[in-house]
Amino acid sequence: MWADPGGRRVSLLLRDVVVEGRLVDVRVSDGTIAAIGRPLDPAPGEEVVDGGRGALLPGLHDHHIHLVALAAAERAPFVGPPAVNDGDQLTVALRRADTALGDGEWLGAIGYHESVSGPLDRWRLDALVETRPVRVQHRSGAEWVLNSRALAAVGLDGGEHSDRPGVERDEAGRVTGRLRGLDRWLGDRMPPAPAPDLAAVGRRLSRYGVTGVTDATPVMSLDDLGPVAAAATRGDLPQRITVTGGPRLATAAPPAPLARGPVKLVVADYAQPAHADLVRWIGAAHEAGRPVAVHCVTRPGLALALAAWDEAGVLAGDRIEHGSVVPPDLRARVAAHGLVIVTQPGFVLERGDRYLAEVHPGDLPHLYPCRSLIEAGIPVGGSTDAPFGHPDPWRAIATAVERRTIDGAPLGVREAVAPERALALFLTSPDAPGGMLRRVTVGAPADLCLLDAPLSRVLEEPSSSHVALTLHEGVMGPRN
Ligand SMILES: [Zn+2]
């Protein structure tokens, strides 16, 4: 960290970086971009970073994420669909969680199902993570698989409790690690799930070049925002954070340093509000001077939301979260209302194979659209919806271009956009997703993402592996 003891940010010189096609040096001072030119001479005591002729971009903004849920998932990963769809993804999820934990901490995963990831026993788990106790809960909730260290820790591996009913053994009489109906017994012997680690989330997003996020959780109480505000104040979350909150918080101000975003309204199959309620919530948000962000993932859900907007009217900044199915007739109404859509291109990759199997064929061509929306003049912002999607926006960018599922099947290729356009989904400001691109200019906040190569090269195969350095208000995040 490059803050002096007084908390002021010392100045920093980024040498040989490419800004909008121009090779320049960039001076960052006191949290903002102080100068752009070439050459700039280092001031006495100034930190100099060699940019290696890599592209310097505004930091990425993820327009829809859930920070606390992501932090929880980081330490106790959900290893069922849609996060994990096969054995390889199970491996990745468990190993990733392993690296996020401290020495000796238990790794607990939930949501496992053998039909997705294959059969699991202590030996397979040992091969994945050997150095710490691991417990994996079956989707049913009533079965667990423990690795050898975990079995030893609870006294089940040749220990005093090995003969308990519910402890499975193979033909050779060995404890397999599969336990049934022992939740209460295990609960008394295993440590409780670890507290969510928001600092790990902050570091991870920083490594992706993310300098801002909009937390789209429809929290019902300001207390729910406390942990995020505290983590942001400590610097554990170095990103600029905009929060939504549900209709009950329409008139409330979030705790500093969180910025107030739109009011989040949920129109879901499991929570379909009445038309009158929706109209009332939209009206109340607008009265408080706030736009709304309406969760719409089905065709009827979008139609219901549009009917409510017909009656309540539209405020600049009103937006549709997901817009998972937008057929042409509804698209025209979205455009006519001037509504924004915040999409998750990454779902095409992560959930696409399931969509191809399960979504109504009539809806498939209109699934997670992007290009058709932009062509209709609808502002489109990009997001990951992590932890429900992978938190790496570069994966979403690559998928917005490729439109392929994990198994490689094309899905809605007519909705593909050019790589620059896909990147732009993440370069707009939190209050105008899909609006004007933020730029690297003198006077702008030094929220920056330095790549290790020219932009054209990176966009040939978009990947967060190209993020060399992220600056949060001029302060360096962890180096990649
Ligand atoms: Zn969400």
Q: What is the DSSP string of 312-376?
A: H---TT-EEEE--B--HHHHHHHHHHT-EEEE-THHHHHHHHHHHHHS-TTTGGGBS--HHHHHT
pLDDT, residue 10, reads: 66
Centre of ligand 1 to C-alpha 414, Å, is 25
List Cβ<8 Å contacts ≥24 apart for 338-341: 338/314, 339/309, 339/314, 339/378, 340/378, 340/379, 340/380, 340/381, 340/432, 340/433, 340/434, 341/373, 341/378, 341/379, 341/380, 341/381, 341/434
- Whole-prediction pTM value? 0.84
What is d(CA 313, CA 477) in angstroms, rounded to the nearest whole number? 42
Q: Report residue 319 as tokens.
A: 């937006």
What is d(CA 267, CA 299) in angstroms, rounded to the nearest whole number? 11
pLDDT, residue 388, reads: 84
What is d(CA 112, CA 470) in angstroms, rounded to the nearest whole number? 35
Centre of ligand 1 to C-alpha 86, Å, is 23
Return the SS3 of 397. helix
Cβ pair 267, 278 in contact under 8 A: yes
3-state secondary structure 30-51: CCEEEEEECCCCCCCCCEEEEE
Residue 300: cis peptide before it, omega within 30 degrees of 0: no
CB count within 10 Å of CB 105 equals 14
pLDDT, residue 480, reads: 56
What is d(CA 34, CA 11) in angstroms, rounded to the nearest whole number? 9
Centre of ligand 1 to C-alpha 64, Å, is 6
Centre of ligand 1 to C-alpha 15, Å, is 39
Helix (H) or strand (E) holding 263: strand 263-267
Nearest to 129 by CA among 182, 90, 74, 73: 90
Nearest to 76 by CA among 105, 99, 101, 108: 108
pLDDT, residue 2, reads: 43
Centre of ligand 1 to C-alpha 446, Å, is 28
pLDDT, residue 96, reads: 85
Centre of ligand 1 to C-alpha 138, Å, is 24
377 torsion bin: left (phi>0), alpha (psi -120 to 50), beta (else)? left
Q: Report residue 10 as tokens.
A: 């010392």
With 0-12 CB in 10 A as exposed, 13-18 as middle and 19+ as buried, what is 213? Answer: buried
List, for the chain, all residue ranges whose pLDDT scores fall below the cut of 70: 1-10, 82, 159, 193-194, 269-271, 479-480
φ and ψ at residue 342, rounded to 5 degrees = -105, 110
pLDDT, residue 7, reads: 47
Centre of ligand 1 to C-alpha 261, Å, is 14
With 0-12 CB in 10 A as exposed, 13-18 as middle and 19+ as buried, what is 366? Answer: buried
DSSP label of 2 = -
Return the SS3 of 187. helix
Centre of ligand 1 to C-alpha 53, Å, is 37
pLDDT, residue 381, reads: 98
pLDDT, residue 362, reads: 93
Centre of ligand 1 to C-alpha 389, Å, is 9
Centre of ligand 1 to C-alpha 462, Å, is 24
> DSSP string covering 104-137, please?
T--EEEEEE-HHHH----HHHHHHH--SS-EEEE
In sequence order, what are the beta bridge partners of 138? 112
Return the SS3 of 403. coil
pLDDT, residue 387, reads: 87
DSSP label of 191 = P
Centre of ligand 1 to C-alpha 356, Å, is 22
Q: What does the pLDDT look like over 102-155, one tens digit per residue?
A: 888 899 898 898 888 999 999 999 999 989 999 998 877 778 999 999 999 998
Centre of ligand 1 to C-alpha 358, Å, is 21
Cβ pair 345, 398 in contact under 8 A: no
Computed over every residue of the chain, the mean pLDDT equals: 92
Residue 257: cis peptide before it, omega within 30 degrees of 0: yes
pLDDT, residue 103, reads: 86
Residue 387: cis peptide before it, omega within 30 degrees of 0: yes
DSSP label of 97 = H
Cα dist. 450→56, 68, 89, 251, 480 in Å? 5, 27, 29, 38, 11
